[in-house]
Structure formats: structure tokens, C-alpha cells
Structure 1
């Protein structure tokens, strides 16, 4: 199971490189714990364009990653895109590269993966990779993104509980 970081696991603080500003989204701990209890690997797929924009250093992104893991426990993979929107990379969501990389590292096929995110780019990346996507809207999610989503959930725990599971494998 792959989680978006900002706005999904933690509150979105634009270009946050300060671990002290990391706050969990409601139900994030329970949702991640539930997935781990199923024996399903967990990963994070996140765009961090602040690196390309000179607003963040890779070290600051890493410090936030460590804080997230202090709060939620270790993730099996972190796939991070440090590129900006104009860089034309294949990893920046909505492109499928992060999901492909995370699935390869986890030893699973993208069609067996589920991506949980808060914006349309998260679901577009899932779709482009052949994965399932579930939108967990928040205050910045646009109405058209909600309308376009095949699956939505009001919060992260509800999203996770609504997925069929297979012990030891991806939902």
C-alpha cells in the first residue's frame, strides 16, 4: 500500500523541511497500523519540488521523513521526486514513475498496489501505473478531483478499511 505524504499522512505545510512542523492527519496512525497488521508492505510516494525550487535541501526532506517514521513507524519504501513541474521527469506525480519504483522495490506488480492520496495527481499517477487509487479529500482537494475519483473515502482509516485484503500480499 502506497501513501502520499503531504495532505494524506501528514498535514500539508508547503515546502516543509522542519520536522517540528510535522502533524499527523486524522487516523493516519490507525490506518498505517491496520495495513501492517495485514502483513502488507507500506510505502510513501511523494513529490518534493521544493528541492528543485531551492526551497528545501535533500537533508531537510530526509529530516521530515525521519519525523514521520518516529510518529508512524518505519515504511518499507520512500519514493521521493525532487523535481519541479517543468523538469519533465517521469517520477513526478501524475506520472507513474514513483509508483513503478516503489512497487519494484517492494517486489510487487503495480496492478496489486493501492495508492491513497488527497489530490487528483495522486490518483492520476496510480491510474497511469495500473494501480488502484483512493482519494481521501481534504480542504485543498478540488471538487472536480472528487467528482473524477472512482473511489473516495472521508478519512484514511475508512479508506483502508474499505479495501479487500489478502494476508501477506497487497490489497
Structure 2
């Protein structure tokens, strides 16, 4: 069963953000666009490259009213230690959620049960708390924050323009499609 088009489930978590520990619930997420960016573990190899890439694009996400929440099954204490030890992770300004019980990871159906680790999963959530996009990649395949930004813009465009859809490789300002009987077989 896919979590696409479902509302995020209740959770309560401790997180690390800008040198502080904070508490977070699903209620804190609602009201604006969000990206839940799951990764297997701190102090690993592909994960810091992805998290650093998202950090490099964070200001662009913020301009779109999007909050980023990275999530692993490590604790918020481990997130702080990693930020202190790594220049790449130290530049992160978004929220790093600790999910040691796996509640959030399981809520998004993104847990490797045999390992107790999150899959490399990305979830775009609208302001009502509904999951609008899902991407899961294998362990060795890193994600691209630039493409994630493009997908967020497409999701926001579709939400703001009912009856229009964004074709493959759509970028902001490009032509969209209006599905209709007349369009069938013409593309």
C-alpha cells in the first residue's frame, strides 16, 4: 500500500536544529509545504553528500515556503555529534529529526525492518499534511536536491492550478498541460 495521497500520521520527536534540541509533532508540520528526507544513518557515505546538497539549496526551498525535515533512526544527540564532526553536516540549517523508535519511518512505510534503518526516501507533503510525491532509491543511489526542488515547484503549481498538470522535465515558467478528450493521443 502506498502512502501517496494520505495524511501524515501523528508523531512526536526530538530533533536538532541550528545548535538546539527541539520537540516536533505532525501539528508543527502542517500549514506549509514540507519535505521529509529520510536517510539510513549518520556518519555514513552517500547520506552526507545528499544532506549537504539539500543544505546548499535550503534557501531556495525556504523562498517557496517549504520546510525540510531530514529523518534517520539515529537520535537527535547523534545528529548534533555529526554536525560538530563534519563540515558538510555542520552547514545544515534545516531540522534533523531523530527517530530511534522508528515511529516516523514506519508511518511513512519507509523502514528496513531487518536493519532498523530508514530507506533513502523523499516525501513531499502539502500544507494540509497530505503526501503529494514519494521517491525511494536503493542504498547506493544518491538523490539530487535540484531535482527535488523542481518536483516541489511542480507540486505547488498543480495545487494552485486545478485542471493543469506538469509534463516530464517541467520547469517553472514552462507550458503545462490541461487534460481533455481533445488531448488524448496528441502528445
Place the TM-score, normalised by the shorter chain, in its bin.
0.3 to 0.5
Higher helix share: 1
Tell me the TM-score normalised to structure 2 length.
0.39
Higher strand share: 2
